[in-house]
Chain A
Amino acid sequence: MDSDIIIKLNKVNFYYGQSRALTDITMNFRKNKVSALIGPSGCGKSTLLRLLNRMNDLIDGTRVEGEILFEEKNIYAQNVDPVEIRRKIGMVFQKPNPFPKTIYNNISYGPKLTGIGVEDMDTLVEQSLKRAVLWDEVKDILNKSAMNLSGGQQQRLCIARALAMKPDILLMDEPTSALDPISTAKIEELIEELKKNYTIIIVTHNMQQAARISDETAFFYLGNLVEYNKTEKIFTNPDVKHTEDYITGRFG
């Protein structure tokens, strides 16, 4: 196995009750790259993303087949605690979802409760907010409620909150779909910056976004992985006609 592969999916099937949402997905995600998952609504891309940090466990009546290896260990093995997995694989959601707490406490919440030894919380908060390029905007209002921030600031706060856990991987589920173009541009710049230290897997409905920010792109359709390749290749000369049709907007 190459050393730069951080997550490896092997024949993964996923079911909501009786209906199959993902079929025989086999793919690898590379370390310190941005991988984009694209495809029409209901194609299974968000489902796949939520499989990677076991968030689908929260839904009753779901079932996983196959294996998902994170650093060569199957995260769906019997003896694995999903809570441990989520500490290492952070997530940013579609709609900004800060806690109704102060900005400071939003960041310190995870590290404090999960007992990862933090010597200096103030430094960690500052560091996390700086990494999410939010520090300059909020450094004087750390004790104000996060609910007062704008949508774009809230989303960067959510990113900072995830970063405070020092994860290896950051999963992003359409992180800019609820934001205006300026906030979107800021988040995209941020992603560019973050990939130096983190592996990022992002679901997006925005084709230009995938083309702009990702190194690799996977196209999903009806629960199948249609094509997975370098982003440049997918957007200029895809192997599968289906992919080309989707990207050029002939269906979707």
Chain B
Amino acid sequence: MENIMKSFKNNSMQWRYFKQSIFFGAVRLSAFIIALALGGILFYIIVNGIGAISWDFITKPPTDSMTKGGIMPAILGTIYLTIGAIAVGLPLGIVSAIYLTEYARQGKVIRLIKVGINCLAGVPSVVFGLFGLGFFVIFLKFGSSILSGSLTLGFLILPTIIGASEEALKSVPQTFREASLSLGVSKWQTIYRIVLPNALPGILTGSILGIGRAAGETAPIMFTAAAYFTAKLPGSIFDEVMALPYHIYVLATAGTNIEATRPIQFGTVLVLVAVVLSIDLIAIIIRSYMRKNKRW
């Protein structure tokens, strides 16, 4: 009897080990598939695009009806729009998050606002583009410009920034706030001196990842900022610009000679991916720096 019990126990252990190895295998496989997909895309882009990359390609404007030359105005345009989106989205998002987590009395109204923000995150980017066209370009008469595009992109990434900021603010221990307030320091000073500095790395990491996404968006800028072609560089925020995502779209669908510009298209895609990934890299560097310094 004892022997039977023992072998049954052993069997059940073996069965559990077997189940565990199947589960581990499945988990490992799915991680592998994701890595493979990313690697495949990158490999395909690099192989096809690397030939087009040269110093002239990234420093010269397009020539011959965009079938030759470089993409410098588009790179610069994307950088301007990204900086503009940060300038619009980051302050507004952080301030909103501070209000929602630190000041607002938690209740129905706040819940409703939070649901609204989440819905905003789910709105398709082309809708943001149309909103930008209707409101910034036409109603406020900003025209198709860096300003309109930055505002539109800024609003597009607002939910991401608010979400990241809320999480970062909530992760600052309540005991820090209590300690500061118990010293007779005012609420605003407590937020400004204690809460915000400790939340900032988290806010920046989350926000930059959102901004990286926005930098690659086409729909929000095609009505609000992006020019089909302009060799002239923008002189002010009221000028329109070329931008990498829209340039790719134009070359691939509406160019004068789509087949002939394939290498340029791949080259532009490669540059865009490089820009987005380097924005993500900044976020990763900030995060690792934050982890090193976090002590509570």
Contact = CB atoms under 8 A, between A and B. Distances in A.
B183 A109 contact: yes
A99 interface: yes
Given A97-B175, A100-B198, 12 more contacts: A85-B184, A87-B183, A90-B182, A91-B178, A97-B173, A97-B176, A97-B179, A99-B176, A99-B179, A110-B183, A113-B183, A161-B179
B106 interface: yes
A192 to B, nearest CB: 23
Nearest to B183: A110
B24 interface: no
Nearest to A57: B181
Given A100-B198, A145-B295, A113 B189 contact: yes
B185 interface: yes
B6 interface: no
Interface in A71-85: 83-85
Interface of B: 105-106, 173, 175-186, 189, 193-194, 198, 295-296
Contacts of B173: 97
A55 B181 CA distance: 8
10 contacts: A60-B106, A85-B184, A93-B182, A97-B178, A100-B198, A100-B296, A110-B184, A114-B185, A147-B296, A158-B179
Contacts of A91: 178, 182
B171 to A, nearest CB: 13
Contacts of A58: 177-178, 181
A131 interface: no
B184 A84 contact: yes
B178 A99 contact: no
Contacts of B185: 83, 109-110, 113-114
Contact of B181 (A84, A86, A147, A158): A86
B184 A83 contact: yes
Chain A to chain B: the 5 pairs with minimum beta-carbon distance, closest first: A87-B184, A110-B183, A97-B175, A91-B182, A86-B184
Contacts of A109: 180, 183, 185, 193
A53 interface: yes
A86 B183 contact: yes
A86 B182 contact: yes
A165 B175 contact: no
A95 interface: yes
Contacts, number: 70
B179 A165 contact: no
A93 B186 contact: no
Contacts of A187: none
Nearest to A167: B184
Contacts of B194: 99
Nearest to A54: B181
B202 to A, nearest CB: 14
A60 B181 contact: no
Contact of A95 (B106, B175, B181, B184): B175
A98 B177 CA distance: 11
A162 interface: yes
Nearest to B295: A147
Given A97-B175, A100-B295, A147-B296, A162 B183 contact: yes
A83 B183 CA distance: 8
Nearest to B193: A113
Nearest to A146: B295
B182 A55 contact: yes
A116 to B, nearest CB: 9
A55 B179 contact: no
Nearest to B175: A97
**Which interface residue of B105, B176, B185, B295 has the most chain A CB atoms within 10 A?**
B185
B201 to A, nearest CB: 12
Contacts of B178: 55, 58, 91, 93, 97
A58 B186 CA distance: 12
Contacts of B296: 100, 147
**Which interface residue of B106, B182, B184, B193 has the most chain A CB atoms within 10 A?**
B182
A204 B176 CA distance: 22
B183 A93 contact: no
A170 to B, nearest CB: 11
Contacts of A95: 175
B179 A114 contact: no
A165 B184 CA distance: 8
A91 to B, nearest CB: 4
Contacts of B105: 60
Contacts of A100: 176, 198, 295-296
A175 to B, nearest CB: 13
A85 B106 CA distance: 25
Contacts of B295: 100, 145, 147
Contacts of B176: 97, 99-100
